[in-house]
Chains A and B, each alone.
Chain A
Amino acid sequence: EAAVTQSPRNKVAVTGGKVTLSCNQTNNHNNMYWYRQDTGHGLRLIHYSYGAGSTEKGDIPDGYKASRPSQENFSLILELATPSQTSVYFCASGDAAYSYEQYFGPGTRLTVL
């Protein structure tokens, strides 16, 4: 089965600090995605990537950067974390060439104090 892992699983950060969330996939999928999940908002797309070296803005990119150094790894970076970024973050990989199915990681719970 497709495997997506995320680290850390839980993170507490201070306002104004830098946070990096990491994602690794062993599916050899070209596309990777970062979502955040908040009650009442479902899953909202932050950034995505079509392959190594590419990043694209999703629907809510403000305050976030992304990095895709390799096929397997995709990071989400909060340069100056704010309390409004407290959320659960999910990474996913997928191959949009066929059915758009996405495989999700277990999530990272981020709390910004």
Chain B
Amino acid sequence: QQKVQQSPESLIVPEGGMASLNCTFSDRNSQYFWWYRQHSGEGPKALMSIFSNGDKKEGRFTAHLNKASLYVSLHIKDSQPSDSALYFCAPNQGGRALIFGTGTTVSVSP
């Protein structure tokens, strides 16, 4: 059973600031790594994925993957109030499903 741990549990970021979310995983066979975002009262929605070592940028969001270190991160640049949400890291578990971490709550303060 893959273990996925996220840190910090929560963080407060000033509007316009940078938010950095960390995630470690235990299964070296994982190939796909997703970040999901969940606004209060809604279902999680896919934000972006990464499957090659290095950085991947999509707009204000940058994901970083280091498979050897079993580590993936997400950085949110120029944070907006609409970025306030619960963020999940989710690597795949074989061909079965995604395994979700416990999440990081991001609060963007105006």
- Report the Cα distance A96→B93, complex, angstroms: 10
Question: What is the size, in residues, of chain B's interface with A at 8 Å between Cβ atoms?
Answer: 22
Instruction: Say whether B103 contacts A42, CB under 8 Å.
Output: yes
Contacts of B92-110 to chain A: CB distance below 8 A: 92, 95-103
- Report the Cα distance A40→B86, complex, angstroms: 12
- Report the Cα distance A21→B49, complex, angstroms: 30
Instruction: Say whether A43 contacts B88, CB under 8 Å.
Output: yes
Q: Shortest beta-carbon distance, A87 to chain B, in Å?
A: 14
**Mask for A83-113, Cβ within 8 A of B = 1, else 0?**
0000000101000100111111111000000
- Report the Cα distance A67→B30, complex, angstroms: 28
Band of interface residues on A:
20 to 34
Identify B102's interface contact among A40, A48, A99, CB under 8 A.
Answer: A40
Identify B97's interface contact among A4, A41, A96, CB under 8 A.
Answer: A96
- Tell me if A's interface is mostly helix, strand, loop or mixed: strand
Instruction: Say whether B49 contacts A99, CB under 8 Å.
Output: yes
Q: Shortest beta-carbon distance, B68 to chain A, in Å?
A: 21
- Report the Cα distance A99→B49, complex, angstroms: 8
Task: Tell which of A92, A99, A105 has the most Cβ of chain B within 10 Å.
Answer: A99
> Could you pull out 7 A-B pairs where Cβ atoms are within 8 angstroms?
A40-B102, A42-B101, A48-B96, A96-B97, A103-B46, A104-B43, A104-B45
